[in-house]
Chains A and B, each alone.
Chain A
């Protein structure tokens, strides 16, 4: 497949892996966080960690929009969907995300709620158009990448005079979240986890560019390499990070030059700015309340804001106390450190959101990587014997 296979070339990967092995200083270790779930998925799916030396480790970050959605927002969406006039349009990923007391959108659908899986914001618009007697609500989630399509859907709804279309907005912002991780006590004060650099999300930067990362690369003295989602992109970004760390540099570098520019897509950002404004605070699963880390519709579009239109409330809801999603999303723990991982919490019976989306750290590790733990246990057992 042209323009795809080139970025999955095993021979090139081995070359870069050899360079990494040469560049990595055996006297120290390196810990890099891939912020974005797309990278987590690529690392797991292509077995990229097998190509890294033991002292170069990846930490899976919170960049999976499904995973960071707090349980209360799912509860609010379920409560909304149970109203008879509502057709809730959602991406398939969200269907199985656990709400409170074992609930989920999938179960609400089975209980009679009109919940439709859509592939794009346009599907939701079409439903609103085709069924004028229904209230079509689009469950909008995601980072800067998925916000412009929501903005365009709102623009189209207004142009078409669709009075029965609205958006339940859960869009969140990447740079703020990375900063929040770096400022968290785990990272800053306690020194329990060490992050030597970040792989920055690819598609987010096609919209926002590389510029927004400059501040904290300087402030926190951590290198950032914005990388594409193909496995060669990721392994090259790891090499670039290693070189920065060894040189004592902390710059924002762009590996994904075929799609990302310094300032990103200004038209897309203008559309977003037209419809959305910052929330003073928004809860992220795993990070807690993040100031200015999410978006809401501007007051002049209140008629299209499902939260206002239907007076939605987000109930306070707690995760399963044994679930380590929070610590895993901050990079403090690994999926296998969680007592629930692989026992009661599996992709078929997810307890925490990290186990739901293919981009979630736990699901990716379960699906693609868990044999490594088993292999290590077996090796350890042999060593003891």
Chain B
């Protein structure tokens, strides 16, 4: 269902109204909803054209495509909301290939009874995030499900991007001796979300790090693209999961230095009283890069020169290890494994 169904002039009571089943039924009410909320928020030539799809020309070379669903609870948290997350997350997935994000799609599954004011707030912040990133939302879809069949709103975004010539980042490309760089402090997003969770609310100055990383990535590619083996954004499962994924895909091990990992004192304190390991806590505006040893210094400098990489740090190295263990030298002086998280540490963080 395309978003561009002509509105028929009925006013939506955004301040007090709620989404009802008619808003997903394909009739006038749906047209109103799309026009007044989504069209206004995402406005661009593609949407204005009113087709069931959007056409664009493809530059030469390699393209990437990605899709992601967003079900975070609560929907609004310090530093962002489900909408900004849906824009940043998909842009970041494209960026981790070193690619330049070009276009996005957005699909909404809305629960009957969801306040229109909240929907507008989410859509407006998505529009702002997409404009700020320079990546337009060019097609979309809206569905409404009965009360109890969803949790407020779920959003899916997909994106396409273009990979610069000569760049080929792969999950299996890490080699012993490579340097591991993280772009900034870890765990901010997970703790920000946790601080607003029902029954667990605590006061904190921590805000989500949710951000689009394609600018930082472009700076890295420009400085030393050929030295970058691979990049990942450590979202769910934190850097522990990311490093373990890379280890098993590249069939290598890691040696990480606990003291080198950037961690805000507030996040460390929150993890302490919640019993969480910051290595397992989600990030939404950070990346982990595995880079060839000789490119590490220049890349680190390029990252630190970018606003989203100021606290970038070299946290360890790739080692040969048939067991694919991610090992860490603790600041206490011992050694331990960093493992995948078993089960769930935090429910629904993105």
Looking at the assembled complex, report how far the CB atom of A203 sits from the nearest CB atom of chain B, in whole angstroms: 13
Q: What residues on A are CB-neighbors of B272 within 8 Å?
A: 1, 4
Give 8 closest A-B pairs by Cβ, nearest first.
Answer: A47-B334, A347-B342, A50-B334, A46-B332, A368-B336, A47-B335, A10-B333, A47-B336
With most chain A CB atoms within 10 A of its CB, the pick from B272, B325, B336 is: B336
Does B125 have its Cβ within 8 Å of any Cβ on chain A? no
What CA separation (Å) do A311 and B269 show in the bound complex?
A: 44
Interface of A is mostly: helix
Does A198 have its Cβ within 8 Å of any Cβ on chain B? no
Looking at the assembled complex, report how far the CB atom of A266 sits from the nearest CB atom of chain B, in whole angstroms: 26
Beyond A10-B332, A50-B334, A347-B342, list 9 extra A-B contacts (CB 8 Å).
A1-B268, A4-B268, A8-B331, A10-B333, A47-B330, A96-B343, A126-B199, A369-B336, A374-B325
25 pairs, CB–CB < 8 Å, chain A vs chain B: A1-B265, A1-B268, A1-B269, A4-B272, A8-B332, A10-B331, A17-B333, A44-B336, A46-B330, A46-B334, A47-B330, A47-B334, A47-B335, A48-B334, A50-B334, A51-B332, A123-B199, A126-B199, A346-B342, A367-B339, A368-B337, A368-B339, A369-B336, A371-B325, A371-B337
Q: Mark B226-247, 1 if CB is under 8 A from A, else 0.
A: 0000000000000000000000
What CA separation (Å) do A44 and B335 show in the bound complex?
A: 9
What CA separation (Å) do A14 and B330 show in the bound complex?
A: 13
Q: What residues on B are CB-neighbors of A48 within 8 Å?
A: 332, 334
What CA separation (Å) do A363 and B335 show in the bound complex?
A: 16
Does B84 have its Cβ within 8 Å of any Cβ on chain A? no
Count of chain A residues near B, Cβ 8 A: 34
What CA separation (Å) do A50 and B337 show in the bound complex?
A: 13
What CA separation (Å) do A10 and B333 show in the bound complex?
A: 5
Which residues in A have some Cβ–Cβ distance to B below 8 Å?
A: 1, 4, 8-10, 13-14, 17, 44-51, 95-96, 118-119, 123, 126, 231, 346-348, 363, 366-371, 374
B130-189 residues at the A interface, CB under 8 angstroms: none
Contact assessment for B333 and A371 in the assembled complex, using a CB-CB cutoff below 8 Å: no
Contact assessment for A370 and B337 in the assembled complex, using a CB-CB cutoff below 8 Å: yes
Which residues in B have some Cβ–Cβ distance to A below 8 Å?
A: 199-200, 265, 268-269, 272, 323, 325, 327, 329-337, 339-340, 342-343
Contact assessment for B200 and A371 in the assembled complex, using a CB-CB cutoff below 8 Å: no
- Checking A4, A50, A369, A370 against B333 with a beta-carbon cut-off of 8 angstroms, the contacting residue is A50
- A1-B265, A119-B200, A348-B342 known; A13-B333 Cβ under 8 A: yes
- A347-B342, A371-B325, A374-B325 known; A47-B333 Cβ under 8 A: yes
Looking at the assembled complex, report how far the CB atom of A179 sits from the nearest CB atom of chain B, in whole angstroms: 30
Q: What residues on A are CB-neighbors of B325 within 8 Å?
A: 371, 374
Looking at the assembled complex, report how far the CB atom of B145 sits from the nearest CB atom of chain A, in whole angstroms: 20
- A14-B333, A48-B332 known; A371-B323 Cβ under 8 A: yes
Q: What residues on B are CB-neighbors of A14 within 8 Å?
A: 333
Residue of A nearest to B199 (CB): A123
- A1-B265, A1-B272 known; A367-B199 Cβ under 8 A: no
What CA separation (Å) do A10 and B336 show in the bound complex?
A: 15
What CA separation (Å) do A246 and B332 show in the bound complex?
A: 27
Contact assessment for B343 and A374 in the assembled complex, using a CB-CB cutoff below 8 Å: no
What CA separation (Å) do A368 and B327 show in the bound complex?
A: 9
Residue of A nearest to B344 (CB): A92
What CA separation (Å) do A119 and B340 show in the bound complex?
A: 23
Contact assessment for B327 and A13 in the assembled complex, using a CB-CB cutoff below 8 Å: no
What CA separation (Å) do A45 and B330 show in the bound complex?
A: 8
Q: What residues on B are CB-neighbors of A49 within 8 Å?
A: 334
Looking at the assembled complex, report how far the CB atom of A7 sits from the nearest CB atom of chain B, in whole angstroms: 10
Looking at the assembled complex, report how far the CB atom of B342 sits from the nearest CB atom of chain A, in whole angstroms: 3
Looking at the assembled complex, report how far the CB atom of B243 sits from the nearest CB atom of chain A, in whole angstroms: 14
Contact assessment for A47 and B199 in the assembled complex, using a CB-CB cutoff below 8 Å: no
What CA separation (Å) do A346 and B343 show in the bound complex?
A: 11
Looking at the assembled complex, report how far the CB atom of B258 sits from the nearest CB atom of chain A, in whole angstroms: 9
What CA separation (Å) do A75 and B170 show in the bound complex?
A: 47
Looking at the assembled complex, report how far the CB atom of B113 sits from the nearest CB atom of chain A, in whole angstroms: 20
